[in-house]
Structure 1
């Protein structure tokens, strides 16, 4: 590390960067991902398009994000983050405003294609890349801190978007959120971010292409990757479809938005459980508990759609999602080592992001089958059980100490 990187001033500044990015990523996730599920039904009613056509736009954004994240990571390895993240925030705010004015399908898909680029620039993939260059020994604590704050994103923005939509309509709601997004994130990214002190990996952590190849050709790797991809798929389906599902079940838009917010807030105890009870969740017990809890939550939703049943589902499913986030961050290092963590986790994230991208479209198709949303919920229960089994097999015999 450079001399300035060791100074107290720079150490304090690193945590200022963490605090800044915790705020901006929370707002960005709230507006760019959680708002879509809130305005989906009002958009469908006004525009007269099918839910499948609308969710395909969100799938497009996620697909562009998955691909664009590779290029964004390369840029952040070579250049300071200020221009990229501030520019991404400006692009995001402008495109959310454009989203509020769409009147035909071409406009919608162009806007969401652009939003995918903005997502790649300002969401977790870029934020984590920036933060890890400010820390050598405590970067894991920094990542956990950001994800703990980010857990409030859905809890804040789902009810906010729901209230704005009920009060002013979906177009005005999006315009207000676009202004909020730009007003918060652009000045913070432009004013706080600067070139980090760490531009290369520590000397004792060289990248080893041979070890990456060995890891990604192992059975454990593919079992883990499949498990996390299935979990990511289920999470994306719930984010996009929950409000529409609850609206079709007779709940008000405001209550449905509240439930979506509880799903997001539930990630907070999930991450705390992972941190404080990590010793009890070593090895194969972690994926079994994580995805088993998701299956239980979905089973509750399948049989009990009362207000209490929905909120209980939301809390449990959110807890599972919070556990999955840190499981995704830590398990690759435990199985394959820190030396090849970047290469191995990059492949895992590619599959997980691909699953997230496909989820809105696939779930919309399943919802058109006999049984509608009940069929969709049943499919998610089965997927969660399979994810738990695959994860259990991937980590079978592993009893590693967690370093998060």
Structure 2
């Protein structure tokens, strides 16, 4: 019976709705970024700001997220993700709506984005993956992959929704309407179905006839001092410098070697499809083979993308193939990081540890895109940046490959539950 209760089928029977709701929550946390592009031109026309000034919102929010994510991770470990997610989602939707109140001063723009960042920190990946990891063991990779598919959904639909709302309501009304739609769709489902292992049978009021896996793992100080965590942190930082820069500059890179902007944007749309498939494939593999091996491939594969871009001859077919491959890379990296954090350090301090890693990713986000832009300005092309990105990706892959096997305590938690 213990073996049956720890099986993948039993995990999905008891908790099938959790990854779906977590996917919606993760998608909600990405609303500010995935809808940003369609608001740039209307705001530019109204205030006369440069696009660099408008885009400085990302610097503000990246720094806020990097500063507060470890703190929220600690709260997740102490209070549970549900108690963070529900009030956080409400506050976040209100903060998104408040962007429509922006005044003519850049200070108001930065201040409102700082507010969005403070609220957004409560609906980022550590909140959703903490609950999913606590309820899924045998099929954790697949469950996390479904969770992260929420980002692909928002990438696909939010720009379309944003353009429609701007056309109907103006950009100020569009922010309010988008926030309201997200609140109506996501918050009730989170309230109804978002429970981690500690909540099951208590907050739900349901019988605990089926045992819930005990939350165990390393303490924060022990984990932070370990070589494994340092390797994960450095690998994440190196990887995300290159990944975020490629994401932001992908269309300009293609345009710089002969494609029209429309052709480059069309090719780049395949990144979303590749991302969705990459996440699902990565989750499937994580449940079946070594996470270090999967991670090494996922972290190293972007080096092939950078190399292909350096050799790119301007053909549309080649651009589409590179975009799809890059999407596969983007689809796997965060899934691997979330999975390996739980496997190597357990779940006792998962929120804090993964929060620190995501904070490091946000610091990389603040460095990567500007670095690519600076190197382009100085050399007139992207080859130097791509040449820098390749060793960063390979270093990340090597560090993940050196993590070694999972601790036995985490491998056998299902039987001990």
TM-score scaled by length of structure 1: 0.76
The verdict on how the C-alpha distance between 1:359 and 1:213 changes in structure 2, with shifts beyond 3 A counting, is: closer
2:16 aligned counterpart, secondary structure: helix
User: Runs of 5+ in structure 2 lacking a partner?
Assistant: 203-211, 412-417
Compute the displacement of 1:320 (Å).
0.7
> In the alignment, is residue 66 of structure 1 matched against residue 71 of structure 2?
no
Given the alignment, which residue of 252, 264, 270 partners 1:262? 270
Aligned twin of 1:353: 362
SS in 2 for 1:131: helix
The alignment status of 1:131 with 2:132, answered yes or no, reads yes
**Change beyond 3 A, Cα 1:281–1:32:** same
Question: What is the CA RMSD across the aligned residues, in angstroms?
Answer: 4.3
Q: 2:389 — aligned with what?
A: 383
The equivalent of 2:218 in structure 1 is 207
**Structure 2 SS opposite 1:207:** coil
C-alpha distance 284-139 of structure 1, shift in aligned 2 (>3 A): closer
* Corresponding residue SS for 1:152: helix
Cα pair 2:145 2:282 within 8 Å, conserved: no
Q: How many residues align?
A: 387
SS at 1:197 equivalent: coil
| Aligned residue in 2 for 1:197 | 200
Q: CA deviation at 1:276?
A: 4.5
Aligned: 1:323 with 2:324: no
Q: What's the CA shift for 1:237? A: 2.9
Mark the CA change 1:188 to 1:243 in structure 2 (over 3 Å): closer, same or farther: farther
SS, match of residue 178 in structure 2: helix
Contact 2:292-2:400 at 8 Å conserved across structures: yes
Aligned to 1:36: 36
- 1:203 and 1:322 mapped to 2: Cα distance? 30
- The SS at the match of 1:71 is helix
Aligned counterparts of 1:365 and 1:175: Cα–Cα separation in 2: 35
Aligned 8 A contact 1:291 1:320 in 2: yes
Q: Is there any run of 5+ residues in structure 1 with no aligned partner, and where? A: none
CA distance in 1, matches of 2:130, 2:342: 16
In structure 2, what is the Cα distance between the partners aligned to 1:349 and 1:358? 14
Matches within 5 A, 1:193-342: 193=194, 196-197=199-200, 205-208=216-219, 211-215=222-226, 218=227, 221-242=229-250, 250-252=260-262, 256=265, 261-277=269-285, 286=294, 289-301=297-309, 303-304=312-313, 307-332=316-341, 336=344, 338=346, 342=350
Change in 2 beyond 3 A, CA 1:20/1:45: same
Deviation at 1:63, TM superposition (A): 2.0
Q: Is the 8 A contact 2:372 2:385 kept in 1?
A: no
Taking structure 2 as the reference length, what is the TM-score of the superposition? 0.74
Q: Deviations over 1:242-291 (max 9, x none)?
A: 46777897424x973x5555323322222233344569985875455334
Q: Which residue of 1 aligns with 2:90?
A: 90
